[in-house]
Chains A and B, each alone.
Chain A
């Protein structure tokens, strides 16, 4: 194996160097892909036969929902890495991702409501997908609130990681409980690899572009926020040292 392993970047100094070098490129790439995807989706796709131009909200709705779920997945992985290998950068990335995930959940819900009003004739319906998303939002809130409530950094990191793991199990459990509780209005998956009935190609290509754009946006924001967390912790350490002398 080469001397540079993936875990080298768990060193905050190395992480800061790498992220500071790659952030400008990532930001540019995000702007490019997201710009192309959104402009393509909004202006260069035909209106749907029945839905008219409201169909175009899909270019924000689907990617944000995708990020909302996968942000939690990423938090689960980084929390596990923290509990097992005690890398501070890892848990700070989880902390950085939570508000973004919450924002994406809210965006998904709001764009869904805006689309649902003319299409289903209602802003809100207790549909399994909608309800699950609301519950996911509550999980994000609880996770963020626990971080904010605890003063000691390592205690907070440990407890939120445990909460994230237990919360993941219960989030999946809630999803199936809700499916059992109510059958819904929401259409099935718009894009899946193993299904005949997907969104038509003319909509699917810009949609994939938007999803990739949102993923890049997510990575950029997480890197940026993780850097902020690391700096905030350095400042705290400096202040503590000042007080000592």
Chain B
């Protein structure tokens, strides 16, 4: 499984595209929003938590179809399905490698973009914490969506239609954590809920994804 993780990470970094693209997209969203709503830092500061979460979510979405598509096309997914490690484990590893190449860099880049959007100072800790805890859920939910659409020729648009409604709870609790943090309120409830969602998706969704992949490989 570790070998598979290293292989996926190498592929993601060396083939280019997905890895840097998500980050660049995140940056562009954060730059474009002030053009759209005006440079007033009070307004920007208020909407920054939501913008940063939505940006992270969309940047995640960009690279989702790459989780399984390449392996499906060249047949390595068939080999992985018949390999001695369970397919559920393969899905989990692929979701983790997706998170390491999108969620984690996004989390690290978010404070810089927070400065651009004049996020209140005491919200930075919560920004990093909520993204760190919440983005793995985005990868695991996304891997489920990708496993449903892996057999389709043009699955990209359908994938976003399937995955975005599933992102609603994560987005709500993630953005709420930062907003409460910015206002100095207690963040325990949304943060624990966010952690619960991440752990729940991590535990359950690989089974659903593996079932969907088995159907698609049939």
Contact count band on B: 20 to 34
Question: B161 is contacted by which of A141, A170, A178, A181 (Cβ under 8 Å)?
Answer: A141
The interface stretch among A93-101, A102-110, A159-167, A228-236 is A159-167
- Whole-angstrom CA separation of A165 from B148 in the bound complex: 13
Interface residues of A in 136-186 (CB under 8 A from B): 138-139, 141-142, 145-146, 149-150, 155, 158-159, 162-163, 165-167, 170, 173-174, 176-178, 180-181
- Decide if A36 is an interface residue (CB 8 Å cutoff): no
Is B169 a contact of A162 with CB atoms below 8 Å?
no
Evaluate whether A173 and B169 lie within 8 angstroms (CB atoms) in the complex, with A155-B218, A163-B162 already known. yes
Name the A residues within 8 Å of B166 (CB-CB).
166-167, 170
Q: A159-B212, A163-B148, A180-B193 are in contact. Are A149 and B165 (CB under 8 A)?
A: no
Query: Is A177 touching B168 in the complex (CB atoms < 8 A)?
Result: yes
Once the chains bind, are A158 and B193 in contact (CB under 8 Å)? no
Q: How far is the CA of A167 from the CA of B144 in the complex (A)?
A: 11
For the complex, is B81 an interface residue (Cβ under 8 Å from A)? no
Please report whether the interface of chain A is mostly helix, strand, loop or mixed according to DSSP: helix
Does A135 touch B at the CB level, under 8 Å?
Answer: yes
Q: How large is the interface on A (under 10, 10 to 19, 20 to 34, 35 or more residues)?
A: 20 to 34
Interchain CB contact (< 8 A) of B216 among A149, A159, A174, A181: A159
Q: Which of A138, A146, A159, A162 contacts B165 (CB 8 A)?
A: A138
The answer to whether A145 touches B158 (Cβ under 8 A) is yes
> Which chain A residues have a beta carbon within 8 Å of chain B's beta carbons?
135, 138-139, 141-142, 145-146, 149-150, 155, 158-159, 162-163, 165-167, 170, 173-174, 176-178, 180-181
B residues in contact (CB < 8 Å) with A: 144, 148-149, 151-152, 155, 158, 161-162, 164-166, 168-169, 172-173, 176, 189-190, 193, 197, 205, 208, 211-212, 215-216, 218
27 contacts between A and B (CB under 8 A): A138-B164, A138-B165, A139-B165, A142-B158, A142-B161, A142-B165, A145-B158, A146-B149, A149-B149, A150-B152, A155-B215, A155-B218, A158-B211, A158-B212, A159-B212, A162-B215, A166-B205, A167-B166, A170-B168, A173-B169, A174-B165, A174-B168, A174-B169, A177-B172, A178-B172, A180-B173, A180-B189
